[in-house]
Amino acid sequence: MGPRAPRRPVGGQRGRGTLVATHRDPGRPGRGRRWLALAAATLLLLAGCGSGATGDGGSGPQPAGSSGGTGAAGGGTITIGINADPPNLDPAMSSALVDRYVQNSIFDKLYDLDENLQVVPELAASLPEISDDGKVYTIKLRQGVTFHDGTPVDADAVVFNLERYLDPDSARYSELSAVERVAKVDDYTVRIVLKQPYSPLLYTLTDRAGMIASPKAIQEKGDQFAQHPVGSGPFMFESRIKGDQIVLVKNPNYWKEGLPKADKIVWKVVTDDNVKVVNLKAGQLDIIDTVPAQALADLRSNPNLKVDIGPGLGFQGIYLNTQQAPFDNPHLRRAVDLAIDRATLVRVVFQETADPGYGPFPPSSPAAAASGEPPQRDLDAVKRALEQGGHPDGFRFTLKTATGPVTQQVAQVIKDMLADAGIEMEIQQVEFGSLLDDTDNGNFQAAALGWSGRPDPDGNIYPWLYTDGSQNDSRYSNPEVDRLLDRARQVLDMDQRVELYRQVMEQVHRDAPYIYLYYPKNVKAYSAKVQGFVNYPDGIIRTENLTKAP
């Protein structure tokens, strides 16, 4: 299976929110207090992060690097704290949300989303002309745009990139699997021919499948292109210190008049959310991509900072490897699913920044109803599932999860819940990039990874549940699910698509290849000196309009 697209560690990249009442399980009256004690421990951890805290677990706020600080003129330097080192900046092979943060500053796309999730032209001059049968899209390109290396953004470049994404080894392959061929009509017109109508196509082209990179740079750099990405976007790649920062500089020839406004963007890797808060307060960071729920009150009370909470498009949960014991047994997968109290998990860990989840479609999705309501925790049903699975006394497994205090807290709450049912879960924390590699290669029993989400519902379900889908690390395969998902891609009416998704999720809930836990909201915090920041629902930080006051 090929590399996977944007995913985030549970509790790490966008999810937060809590409930309020103390939970008490039947027969275990003290359990709720223990879960709430975990939340209190996190509050104490955060309270302990004063001016002496470190950017990466050392001693004192980390400087944003030699490239940080205010630029000489123009919009200055904006330093953005991100919670993981981007694994791959090549859109064809990209594997994480943090990749998309940086890529959206380097690469223009054929189309983009506005703050209301409406599709707007970017490198395309207008919305596409679509044939009556929905199978041919004709796209006219904006003229006069050049890549950072001076070569033209034209039909040849677009065809080159889209054909590259159609390679089965590309992480974009399943997103564009409905495409039969791509052809140049003239120097600034491209035609996409589909095998059958594909309702998500336009939204697909607003993300990495629509990013256009320099063919010259790709051919010259080969498999090193990700280390030296060249696009046509508002900022150009300047340098990278692995595990520390990525520096982008202003594109002086950008085609959008007056943009970008900043001189430089520094993407600073800070893996501990609590430390990011400290560095934001100290002025070492201007924007942070995630905010611990327990830090909200403190940040909101600070007149030098702003907090923005908006709806999210993604979900968080746990992959169960259906091709490896113990989760090749569907009854044991179902037992884990039924043993988790999602409402309590959200209440304990996330406060107002997440909602309990039970499917791929968050409340903001037009397909939200298809996810279904989270089930009530039922230890009797768990016991029956264990008996049906041949393990009446429980079983044990290992959960791999990314590093970080919030991630650890989520895993610990789940561990305690499963212990009530006689299920023993060992927690193994690994570096985010290694976690992606392990899930891609099937080297896990259970793995905590989520999805940043897409505006079209297909992007949240097809890659995850379709046989050999680009995100299907559970190795799940069900012919009826595949049939329904294929049908939903060909239907233009959203109500009809939602009904098909509802049928899919009925089967998926029975099979439980992936444990949906919660829907993170989109939470960002930033310095009051930063101007031009808009909190888009897709979670991507658009940088072209950002400036910073002295």
Split the chain (550 residues) into runs of 10 and give each run's mean pLDDT: 38 27 27 39 37 30 31 73 95 92 98 93 98 96 98 98 96 92 98 95 96 98 97 98 97 97 98 94 97 94 97 96 98 98 95 95 95 94 98 98 91 98 97 94 97 94 94 97 96 94 98 98 96 93 95
- Does the pTM surpass 0.95? The reply is no
C-alpha separations of 535 from 78, 84, 308 in Å: 16, 20, 7
CA torsion sign for 74, 76, 77, 80 is negative
Q: Which residues of 448-477 are buried (b: 16+ CB within 10 A; e: fewer)?
A: bbbbbbbbbbbbbbbbbbbeebbbbbbbbb
Three-state DSSP class for 360? Answer: coil
Helix (H), strand (E) counts: the chain: 15, 22
Which two tokens mark 281? Answer: 């307060």
Q: What pLDDT is stored for residue 107 in this prediction?
A: 98
Decide if 270 contacts 486 (C-beta within 8 A). no
Q: What pLDDT is stored for residue 470 in this prediction?
A: 87
State the DSSP H helix or E strand holding residue 256, giving kind and residue range, or none if neither.
none
Decide if 234 contacts 544 (C-beta within 8 A). yes
Decide if 412 contacts 427 (C-beta within 8 A). yes
The domains located in the chain, with CATH, are 108-220 (3.90.76.10)
- Three-state SS sequence of 64-91: CCCCCCCCCCCCCEEEEEECCCCCCCCC
